[in-house]
């Protein structure tokens, strides 16, 4: 019995249902002219599909058994780390600028992995990725956010 697959499926199911409920409150639009509800609805629907697959795989592996609270907590911790890092990004983006906020997002999200270690190569990679994406969005696509927000 794959308790971890069922536990992960339940986490996906919860987040997907929550995202879908929120996304349905916004206009959907069309593929050519997407409304603010388009992306949350599509991503949440995919998350619900992954939930169904994960739960099915867990049930197909043996006798059905509900996962323990410890197992659910273990699976929820990395998900919550990523959610908290995205919320932090949204909160500090206008204050710090896109580059430092993106760098913070990458480093905070990376801590969700047990293999993460604060070493020179991962930090350099995070700086390069944050710098590249920030440059693309601010300079090339014209996103109205500061690249780096200088105090004063």
pLDDT tens sequence for the chain (152 residues): 466 778 888 888 999 999 899 889 988 888 788 888 888 888 899 999 999 998 888 888 776 556 566 656 667 788 888 889 999 999 998 899 999 999 999 999 999 888 888 899 999 999 999 999 999 988 888 888 888 987 66
Total tally of structural domains belonging to the chain:
2
Q: Are residues 52 and 111 in the same domain?
A: no
Q: Are residues 41 and 107 in the same domain?
A: no
Q: Are residues 92 and 121 in the same domain?
A: yes
Closest CA relative to residue 108, chosen from 94, 37, 92, 53: 92
Query: How far, in Å, CA of 41 to CA of 52, rounded?
Result: 16
Indicate the pTM of the whole model: 0.58
Full domain range(s) for residue 108: 77-152
Query: 29: which strand partners?
Result: 34
pLDDT at 1: 46
Place of tokens 């659910």: 72
Assigned domain for 72 exists: no
């Amino acid at each position: 019995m794959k308790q971890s697959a069922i536990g992960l499926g339940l986490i996906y199911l919860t987040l997907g249902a929550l995202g879908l409920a929120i996304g349905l409150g916004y206009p959907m639009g069309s593929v050519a002219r997407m409304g603010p509800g388009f992306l949350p609805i599509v991503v949440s629907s995919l998350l619900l599909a992954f939930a169904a697959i994960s739960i099915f795989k867990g049930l197909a592996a043996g006798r059905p058994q509900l996962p323990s609270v410890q197992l659910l907590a273990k699976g929820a911790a990395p998900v919550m780390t990523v959610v908290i890092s995205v919320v932090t990004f949204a909160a500090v983006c206008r204050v710090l600028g896109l580059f430092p906020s993106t760098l913070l997002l990458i480093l905070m999200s990376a801590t969700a992995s047990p293999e993460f270690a604060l070493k020179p190569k991962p930090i350099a990679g995070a700086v390069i990725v944050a710098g590249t994406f920030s440059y693309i969005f601010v300079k090339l696509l014209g996103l109205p956010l500061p690249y780096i927000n200088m105090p004063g």
